[in-house]
Structure 1
Amino acid sequence: MDVSDQQTGQPDEDSARLHALGYAQELKRTMSAFSNFAVSFTIISILSGCLTLYGFGMKTGGPAAMIWGWPLVGLFVVLVGLGMAEVCSSYPTAGGLYYWAAKLATRNGPAWSWFTGWFNLIGQIAVTAGIDFGAALFLNAFLDLQWGFSATPGHTILLLAIILVVHGVLNTFGVRVVAVLNSVSVWWHLVGVLVIVGVLVFVPAKHQEASFVFGSFVNQTGWGSAPYVFLLGLLLAQYTLTGYDASAHMTEETKNAAKAGPRGIINSILVSLVAGWILLIGLTFAIQDYDGAVNSATGVPPAQIFIDATGAVTGKFLLLICIGAQLFCGMASVTANSRMIYAFARDGAIPGSKIWHNINKRTQTPTNAVWLVSCVRNS
């Protein structure tokens, strides 16, 4: 495809820059800076990562590890994000990390690029599967509470398959639909956190003491080393604060990409850090029965905390807010993952590259890559 603007016939700055980096403009460049930020913010998804692993955190260090581990991990994530944003401003391509590795390596660039690309690809597929599996767990818990659709492994896998198909269909319709949904997702997450924390502050008859929230260390792992268990507890923050490289993967579809991409990376991290810490503190203060939540029959400790603190009706309402956010998160993760596959295939680095690099002529999106992501995650 020509790098010229369709209306003026003159090269636009984004397409010209992409052409200088060695690629033609094939994807539709319609995303705004806010939409670019929204993709990364949605993939980080504090209502997905924080709550999916909250039960894990309750066993591996408890409140102290979760509350203090969040800003500790966040500090290092900000440093990594700043470095990535700097490189993204120079190389705004959908390939992201693997392309940067090739350009920045002093020697053996192709080898570093290949290894980086495959680690990135495998990691994205795994984390996207984890996101939708978490959404299936929470959805199964809600269906069990509301209609008795028991929270069994078989039912959870069935829901996972349905969610994957829905996300594949949504991403097939094109970048405009995804951009709109991601923009909605930003406000869903922010307002959702305010609603959840607000309800947990004002509705429960009692709350935990501050000494419990900020100083209680719980070890139910079987390991005797407290420092080691604390490090395990950091996984909650580490799992949540990932995926911000999505802003880089979406740069070929973003206007003013050299600025919007880096800003999307940094802003998504900073907003998530603040909102996520508020969520963790609010949820931990509202715990009524610690052991009861850990061993909840729903298999989802946050759902049990909601119900114990606010009652069945309000608790299920809060659970629905979380499920909506997790579904948004999975959809955005498919989007970013498919763009990385598209770029990697464009450079001939994966089997069947010609198939996965193919662009849908109607939507100008990598539809084949979208369905590859959806199918591989379900397997």
Structure 2
Amino acid sequence: MSTTTTTPAIDTDYSEDAKHADIKVLHEMGYAQELERRMSRFSNFAISFSIICILSGGINSLAQATSGAGGAAIGLGWPLGVLISGVFALAMAQIGSAYPTAGGLYHWSSILGTRFTGWVTAWFNLLGLVTVLGAINVGTYYFFFGAFGGMLGMEDTITTRISFLAVLTGVQALINHFGIGLTAKLTDFSGYLIFATALVLTAACLAFAPSYEIGRLFTFTNYSGEAGANVWPQVSTGWAFLLGLLLPIYTITGYDASAHTSEETRDAARSVPQGMVMSVVWSGVFGYVMLCAFVLMIPNMDDAAKQGWNVFFWAMDARMPGVLKEILYFAIFISQFLCGLATVTSVSRMMFAFARDGGLPASSLLAKVSPSYRTPVAAIWTGSILAVLFVWGTSLVSIGGTSAYSIVVSCTVIFLFFSFAIPIVLGLFAFGTAKWPKMGPWNMGAPLFKLVAVLSAVAMALIFVLGIQPPNDWALYITVGFLVLAGVVWFVFEQRRFQGPPIGEEIAKRQAAIRAAEQAVGEVG
């Protein structure tokens, strides 16, 4: 296996030959180098690591474990969930090395399958990314509210929430607007900040733990139902443990950002797969150590379960000194903000890639790249505005007594992982054929790829089953409804209109347009 298994290094040498090689690969796939290649290997790793952000999902969704199967949901459940996400990352990394383009998932599904599989993958991924951007920033709002809301006199109203969200997302979009250079610097910083904050939080939890009761990390206790503040409905201990896997699975996602920024990454065919895989590895390791330390700090697991979604603040208030606690809260908030920043990047690149092949309404606008900043400005702002509108609109509607926002967000993981699974399964059958004749330079070997592809398909089935359990049972109807709607739209409208990415002779015909597009943005490579 010729893959690298160390932390991605910051590459300082990017020769003209290497640049030309990257552009040549892009031209061979029929696309112009409109975006700017400013991202180092470390930057590509950092953008995925920032979106995964163990200080976001790992903290904001912690009750899925502590109010589920208790300590074992962390001690045993976290590594199992990371392994589940990891098989997707490995399989996607192998495909991404062969096809390093923005909006990679859509492109992979189109090349390895058909126009329809590419189109439906794009919609799964795009809808998942827009909703997850909204969910990440809502999580950031609630973290800020829990950490600082009391001292600022904040009240949790829809107006406050949406105003906070609009400002937060607007700043993230503005930073993205001004170029990948600034965004990459901030996500690089985010990578270091997450590492440092996780280490300090871990050390503090261990320092203020009443004892090191290691056994609680492997103790199964059923806290579903009333015992766990109804985070989960009353289920068996086994089901509580399985549902708790959604904590690491939900947290360890977003590594497709490495693929989405392929066209802005140097030596993308090697950097992108390494970025994907290592972001999962390091997030998994640091997240495990941090959450295990947190569980050891908890005064009493029964009392912790009763706190429901407030368990993190409850435990911190009970054990952590005030000044240290506030410093950690501030660092976590900044990390969560940068998580949203990186997600805006991912959303916009997916939207840009799909639009340049005519896959979206107003595609010509959404596919435009600013000559000044070399970013898809319209896609950045459109994705950001849609995320805010999604949260606002769904917060005003309830279905069967449940907020429409909660119902839709429950589909986010399903949609994202479907968009991961489709190209992986297609690749399983396409490798060795004319559609995918050879591996890219990052090469785990065909037997191992086929193994992780099969495991990804099995994992997708598990994620789907877990994702539609109460209280998220509406996710089944939404997912099925989306598939039916997608099928109707495709066969009635898009089958004749949407051509997908260029292939064969179409690539050769595009060369003049490619040169013109590069000249328009000042690309001289």
Please give the TM-score of this superposition, normalised by the length of structure 1.
0.92
The answer as to whether partners of 1:32 and 1:254 remain within 8 angstroms in 2 is yes
Which one of the candidate residues 239, 255, 263 is aligned to 1:228? 239
Question: SS state of the match for residue 365, structure 1?
Answer: coil
User: Does 1:46 pair with 2:50?
Assistant: no
8 A Cα contact 1:48 1:134, kept in partner: yes
Choose the corresponding residue for 1:330, options 340, 345, 350.
340
CA separation of 1:10 and 1:194: change in aligned 2, threshold 3 A? closer
Shift in Å, 1:295: 5.6
The letter for the 1-side match of 2:362 is G
Does 280-289 or 152-161 show the bigger shift?
A: 152-161
Provide, for residues 323-364 of structure 1, a one-character-per-residue CA deviation record: whole Å limited to 9, x for no partner.
111111000010011001000000100111011111111001
TM-score in terms of structure 2 length: 0.67
Mapped to 1, the partners of 2:68 and 2:327 lie a distance apart of: 28
Q: How does 1:194-273 map to 2 (within 5 A)?
A: 194-204=199-209, 206-207=210-211, 209-217=213-221, 218-220=223-225, 221-273=232-284
Partner in structure 1 of residue 40 of structure 2: 32
Deviations 1:261-299 (A, max 9, x none): 1111111111111001011101111112546555659x6
Q: For residues 85-128 of structure 1, what are the alpha-carbon distances to aligned partners after superposition, in whole Å with 9 as ceiling and x for unaligned?
A: 111111000021111011112xxx00110111100111111111
Q: Identify the match of residue 363 of structure 1 among 361, 373, 379.
A: 373
Q: Which residue of 1 aligns with 2:165?
A: 160
Provide closer, same or farther for how the CA distance between residues 296 and 153 of structure 1 changes in structure 2, counting only shifts above 3 A.
Answer: farther
Equivalent position of 1:319 in the other structure: 329
1:140-155 matches, within 5 Å, as: 140-155=145-160
Closer, same or farther in 2 for the Cα pair 1:211/1:368, shift >3 Å?
same
Q: Which amino acid aligns with 1:375?
A: I
Q: Percent identity?
A: 36
Q: What secondary structure is seen at the aligned counterpart in 2 of 1:12?
A: helix
State the Cα deviation string for residues 49-78 of structure 1 (Å, max 9, x = none).
110101232222222123311111222222
1:44 is displaced (CA, Å) by: 0.6
Pick one of 107, 123, 131 that aligns with 1:126. Answer: 131
User: What is the Cα deviation at residue 303 of structure 1?
Assistant: 2.0
Match of 2:294 among 264, 283, 293: 283
Structure 1 distance, partners of 2:100, 2:38, is 15
Structure 2 distance, partners of 1:8, 1:182, is 25
- Aligned twin of 1:183: 188
Q: Distance in 2 between matches of 1:176 and 1:22?
A: 25
SS in 1 for 2:76: helix
Partners of 1:65 and 1:234 within 8 A in 2: yes
Moved more, 126-135 or 175-184: 126-135
- CA distance, structure 1, for counterparts of residue 161 and residue 305 of structure 2: 19
Choose 1 or 2 for highest CA Rg: 2
Counterpart amino acid of 1:370?
I
Mean CA deviation greater in 268-277 or 217-226? 217-226
Which residue identity lines up with residue 118 of structure 2 in the other structure?
Answer: S
- Residue 492 of structure 2: aligned partner: none
Q: Aligned partners of 1:367 and 1:114: how far apart in 2?
A: 23
Amino acid at match of 1:68: L
**Structure 2, unpaired ranges of 5+:** 1-14, 226-231, 390-525
Q: CA deviation at 1:214?
A: 2.2
Q: Which one of the candidate residues 353, 359, 366 is aligned to 2:363? A: 353
Give the length in aligned residue pairs: 368
User: What's the CA shift for 1:29?
Assistant: 1.1
Give the Å deviation of 1:301. Answer: 2.4
Q: What is the rounded CA distance, in whole Å, between the counterparts of 1:319 and 1:198 in structure 2?
A: 15
Query: Partners of 1:163 and 1:292 in 2: how far apart?
Result: 34
Tell me which of 332, 346, 350 is aligned to 1:340. 350
2:71 match: secondary structure: helix
Q: Which residue of 2 aligns with 1:19?
A: 27
| Residue of structure 2 equivalent to 1:3 | none
1:308 pairs with 2:318: yes
Q: 1:83 and 1:100 mapped to 2: Cα distance?
A: 12
Segments of structure 1 that go 5 or more residues without pairing to the other structure are 1-6
Partners of 2:283 and 2:340 in 1: CA distance: 17
Match for residue 63 of structure 1? 71
User: What amino acid is aligned across from residue 356 of structure 1 in structure 2?
Assistant: L
Q: CA deviation at 1:239?
A: 0.5
3-state SS in 1 of match to 2:103: coil
- In structure 2, C-alpha distance between the alignment counterparts of 1:86 and 1:372, rounded to whole Å: 31
2:373 aligned counterpart, secondary structure: coil
In structure 1, the residue matched to 2:84 is 76
SS in 2 for 1:362: coil
Secondary structure (helix, strand or coil) at the match of 2:100 reads coil
User: Which AA in structure 2 matches 1:99?
Assistant: H
Cα distance in 2 between the residues matched to 1:316 and 1:155: 22
CA gap 1:22/1:329 in 2 versus in 1, 3 angstroms = same
Instruction: Give secondary structure in 2 for the equivalent of 1:61.
Output: coil
1:88 maps to 96
Kindly indicate whether the alpha-carbon contact (under 8 Å) linking 2:19 and 2:266 is maintained by their aligned counterparts in 1: no
